[in-house]
Structures are given as structure tokens and as C-alpha cells.
Amino acid sequence: MKSVCVFCGSSDGAKPRYAEAAQAFGRALVEADLALVYGGGKVGLMGVIADTVMAEGGRAIGVIPELLVNKEVGHNGLTELHVVPDMHQRKKMMADLADGFVALPGGAGTLEELFEVYTWAQLGYHQKPVALLNIDGFYDPLISLLQHTVDEGFMRQTYFDILQIDADPVALIARLQGYQPPVSDKWALKREEV
């Protein structure tokens, strides 16, 4: 593992704890010699984690669509900043550059990016770890909803378990580095087992 893609908010959120945890995760990435791949913005948690990685002597690679360069204030102080035509190319490039994915707190965009790579993992399009940094229980409602989908027969526990969850940045990185993808093939299962 050489790099981790982080999905997170373009705002700081309601609690200072979110920015503090983004800083801690940035430091943990550098300590683990992992490059940051992220959405390329200079504002919100995106800016916090990128600034931390750069200040600690790490590598930060941003990928931002042309439309958002001004809205998310494209970060010019990165190791690399790729400006791409649209969101589809942004997400593809981030996925290609990353060896794993972590969602910090964020809004609809963060959730959409998370669920795309999580679904790809379930379908076998990649074998990379997907994780939540569950800062102060931010993702508890989502975790409950996902467990509900298992309980109601819409997802197998194996696929729920793909999602690595931890509140501690260092522990979460260790989980990413030790991740072993499930060996079962979703499409080889009988319909009632899915």
C-alpha cells in the first residue's frame, strides 16, 4: 500500500473535533509513508488534511474538476494537482491512484464517492480496502442502516464486513494495511443467498 484516497467535506462541519481528526489522520498517513489522494480542494476538511500532510513532509495528490477549481478553491500547494474535465474523471483518477479508500465526515458528495468504491469492492471491480473514520460516532447512523440492509436480506454480512470502521486514525491505517478481501463471488451465489 502506497496511497490512500480520502473522501471528506469541503466544509469544516459543526464540531472542531472533525478538523482535529482530519489533522490526526493526515499525520498518521505521513507516519505510515502513505500518500494522500483526495479531491484537490483547499477548503473544509479537504484543505485541513492536505495542509497537514504537506506540513508534515508527506505527499498530497489532488484531483479536481474544472467546474470546482474556483468553488472548492483548488489547492496550489500540493505535490500534484490534476485538473480534469468532470466528476466522473475525478473519481476514476482518484480510484486509479489509490490503494485504499477512507471516508471522513462529509455531505452527499462524500457519501456518493464512498458508496461508489464500496459497491465496486462488493462487485469485485477492485480488491482495495474501503473504510470509515468514525469520528465521534459521525457514521453510527450509516453503520446502523447498513446493518439493517443485512438484517432485511438486501446485503450479505460478508459485504457489510468489507467496510473497515475505526475511530482511531492509526488503528484504521493498520486495518487498511492488513485488509484481506472476501473470496466469495457475489454472482456465483444463488439468488436467495445474495
158 contact partners, CB below 8 Å, separation of at least 6: 182, 184
The CATH number for 3-193, chosen from 3.40.50.720, 3.30.43.10, 1.10.10.10, 3.40.50.450, is 3.40.50.450
Q: What is the distance of C-alpha 151 from the center of its chain?
A: 25
Contact between 140 and 173 under an 8 Å Cβ cutoff? The reply is: no
Domain boundaries, the chain: 3-193
* pLDDT computed for residue 152 by the predictor: 98
Give the model's confidence band at 178: pLDDT under 50 very low, under 70 low, under 90 confident, else very high.
Answer: very high
Per residue in 39-75, pLDDT (tens digit) is 999 999 999 999 999 999 999 999 999 998 877 688 9
pTM: 0.92
Per residue in 84-104, pLDDT (tens digit) is 999 999 999 999 999 999 999
For residues 136-164, give the mean pLDDT.
Answer: 97
* pLDDT computed for residue 60 by the predictor: 98
Cα separation, 114 vs 21, whole angstroms = 18
End-to-end CA separation in angstroms for the chain: 30
The answer for 129, left when phi > 0, alpha when psi is -120 to 50, beta otherwise, is beta
Q: CA nearest 8: which of 102, 89, 120, 84?
A: 102
Residues composing the chain: 194
